[in-house]
């Protein structure tokens, strides 16, 4: 059994920060506009919220040592927390300049990050109607 080491936790934190930054950069290069990073509310946290046209993407970034682990690191429980946080975000931020509900599409994406590779953008990683 390995012992707890504060420096390992710190390294993991900075690796996650770097992965989110890299994922943001890739999204910007793909034409997305980053609306929020590390959005937090009582319901949960969303790593990135990005917009492209009328599409709003709620993006979870997973940084792992290999591609497979990154793609399969998102649990059902994490998905539910992200959905609840997305509902909260939309309740507070889904109006146009005249105060009407904005007509937009929504999607839940995953960005898988592994060392020495560009992030893999998995569109529609899972689906859920966020307006219910």
Better-predicted residue by pLDDT, 130 or 87: 87
pLDDT tens digits, 60-115? 999 888 878 877 888 899 999 999 999 999 888 876 655 555 678 899 999 999 88
CATH of domain 6-126: 3.40.1350.10
As a three-state string, the secondary structure of the chain is: CCCCCHHHHHHHHHHHHHHHHHHHHHHHHCCCEEEEEEEEECCEEEEEEEEECCEEEEEEEEECCCHHHHHCCCCHHHHHHHHHHHHHHHHHHCECCCCCECCCEEEEEEEEECCCCCCEEEEEEECCCCCC
Give the pLDDT of residue 2: 54
Phi/psi at 86 (5° precision): -65, -40
Residue that wins the pLDDT comparison between 63 and 127 = 63
What percentage of the chain reaches a pLDDT higher than 70? 86
In this predicted structure, what is the pLDDT of residue 132?
A: 39
Q: Mean pLDDT, the chain, as a whole number?
A: 84
**More confident site: 127 or 1:** 127
């Amino acid at each position: 059994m390995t012992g707890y080491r504060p420096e390992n936790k710190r390294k993991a934190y900075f690796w996650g920060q770097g992965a989110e930054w890299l994922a943001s950069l890739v999204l910007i290069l793909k034409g997305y506009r980053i609306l929020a990073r590390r959005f937090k509310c009582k319901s949960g946290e969303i790593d990135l919220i990005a917009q492209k046209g009328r599409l709003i993407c709620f993006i979870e970034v997973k940084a792992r040592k290999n591609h497979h682990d990154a793609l399969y690191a998102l649990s059902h429980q994490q998905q539910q927390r992200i959905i609840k946080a997305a509902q909260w975000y939309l309740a507070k931020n889904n109006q146009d300049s005249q105060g009407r509900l904005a007509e937009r599409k929504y999607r839940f994406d995953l960005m898988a990050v592994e060392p020495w590779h560009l992030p893999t953008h998995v569109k529609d990683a899972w689906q859920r109607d966020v307006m219910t």
